[in-house]
Amino acid sequence: MEVETLQKLCAHLNEFSLSRAIIDFDRKRFVAWNDRFLARTGYSENEIKSIQPDKIVIESDIRFTNPNEGDNPSAEFVPVAVRTATDNAAEPGHLVRPKHKLGYLM
């Protein structure tokens, strides 16, 4: 899926007041996000473009998978904390981490 398409998808989720971002794990960067994500985390668009996700997204050791997929799940559902730009605070969230390079942060 094209990055531009992912960016449009995230932008549309603003209408539902949903804070969302998409991470490219291979390139170690955010490739899409919406205004709600920026407002919730306190980062500017320029900061999100340049920060490596692993610097602000803290993944839990706990992983959830779809029990119907058995031993070879297509994705993991991971509780996360996202460090905010201000204070020493973090926002709770979840990451859908599939086997391919993109992750969906909510």
pLDDT digits (tens, 9 = 90+) for 51-70: 999 999 999 999 998 888 88
pLDDT digits (tens, 9 = 90+) for 4-14: 887 888 788 87
Question: In the prediction, which pLDDT does 59 show?
Answer: 95
Judged against a pLDDT cut of 90, whether residue 41 lies above it is answered with yes
Say if CB 66 and CB 87 are below 8 A apart.
no
